Amino acid sequence: AQSVAQPEDQVNVAEGNPLTVKCTYSVSGNPYLFWYVQYPNRGLQFLLKYITGDNLVKGSYGFEAEFNKSQTSFHLKKPSALVSDSALYFCAVRVTWNSGNTPLVFGKGTRLSVIA
């Protein structure tokens, strides 16, 4: 079975400082990894994904994430946080070993609060 862990319920960071939102995963097979963001009263917006290739992936709004196979992690990062980055962030994983019809499995979410 596949699972995702986001160990922090809440992350607080000052505006302009770097931010990290942690994610670890457990799958039997090669993972597809995703980050989504949810603003208040909105649906989920896709940020970035790792499928294969370069371990560092860049996504929307200046976010990036690094795939670390040995640590089974996919932490989300941004060099300089903005107040507008405050939202709920979800990490998700899907395995790739079968026909590809598996759904996404989500972590519990991490609420990011950027303080001016």
Partner 1 sequence: SAVISQKPSRDICQRGTSLTIQCQVDSQVTMMFWYRQQPGQSLTLIATANQGSEATYESGFVIDKFPISRPNLTFSTLTVSNMSPEDSSIYLCSSRTGKETQYFGPGTRLLVL
Binding interface with partner 1 (CB under 8 A): 32, 34, 36, 41-46, 49, 51, 88, 90, 92, 94, 96, 100-101, 103-109, 111
Give SS3 for 60.
helix
Least distance from C-beta 46 to partner 1, angstroms?
A: 6
Query: Which CB atom, from 9 or from 54, has the smaller least distance to partner 1?
Result: 9
Give the chain's length. Answer: 116
Least distance from C-beta 69 to partner 1, angstroms?
A: 19
Query: Which CB atom, from 89 or from 114, has the smaller least distance to partner 1?
Result: 89
Query: Which CB atom, from 80 or from 87, has the smaller least distance to partner 1?
Result: 87
Least distance from C-beta 107 to partner 1, angstroms?
A: 7
User: What gap in Å lies between CA 61 and CA 37, rounded to an integer?
Assistant: 11
User: What gap in Å lies between CA 97 and CA 113, rounded to an integer?
Assistant: 36
Give SS3 for 1.
coil
User: What gap in Å lies between CA 94 and CA 54, rounded to an integer?
Assistant: 18
Least distance from C-beta 32 to partner 1, angstroms?
A: 7
Tokens of 30: 């090669």
